[in-house]
Amino acid sequence: MKMNKKLKHVNGVFTEIVGTNKQLSEFERFLKDGPIKMSPVLSKMTVTYKNIVTKWKSQFDTISLLEEAILQLRAKENIKEIKLSIVRGDYIYARSPFYRKGASTKDIRVIVGRVVDHGDDLTLLEKDIQFMESAKRFIQVAMNKQIAENHNELTNYLMSRQ
């Protein structure tokens, strides 16, 4: 088995297919992409597909929420990659891979300092163990906040299913 040395913990299975409140699910997209005029056989198969997906949708949603929580905990417990950047010439941002449903990027970004305090040599800062440990703590705090919000959403969802 080939091991991925740069595992980023940002790709799920069900998180990618259930959609969000802003994005159609893959099931809905699949159904929408069908032709308007259908043969009786195609129509019957499409209805069967839609009925099965509708019946299983709550399980897919549950698995997607669990998957998101797992991906986020994996990312938090295995922070290996932190990239620094300067924004607006003033703030130093740190980012690390992190899955968030509906987010346009698969990372989390936090302000870790100001150029006026730490300088603008990112290569030097990336070699500064104390600075990078501080950046890691900032990232963990942001991750913990998102994980707690998602844990509440998952708990509420599971309670509503009982």
pLDDT in tens, 56-107: 988 998 899 899 999 999 999 989 899 999 999 899 999 999 998 878 889 9
Q: Which residue has the tokens 């870790």?
A: 112
Q: What values do phi and psi take at 155, rounded to 5? A: -60, -45
Evaluate the CA torsion angle 118, 121, 125, 127 in order and state its sign: negative
Pair type for strands 91-97 and 107-114: antiparallel
- Beta carbons of 118 and 127 less than 8 angstroms apart: no
| Cβ neighbourhood burial of 44 (10 Å; 0-12, 13-18, 19+) | exposed
pLDDT digits (tens, 9 = 90+) for 4-57: 455 566 777 888 788 877 788 888 889 888 888 999 999 999 999 999 999 998
Question: For position 11, what pLDDT does the model report?
Answer: 75
Question: For position 6, what pLDDT does the model report?
Answer: 56
Residue-range domain boundaries for the chain: 14-77, 83-143
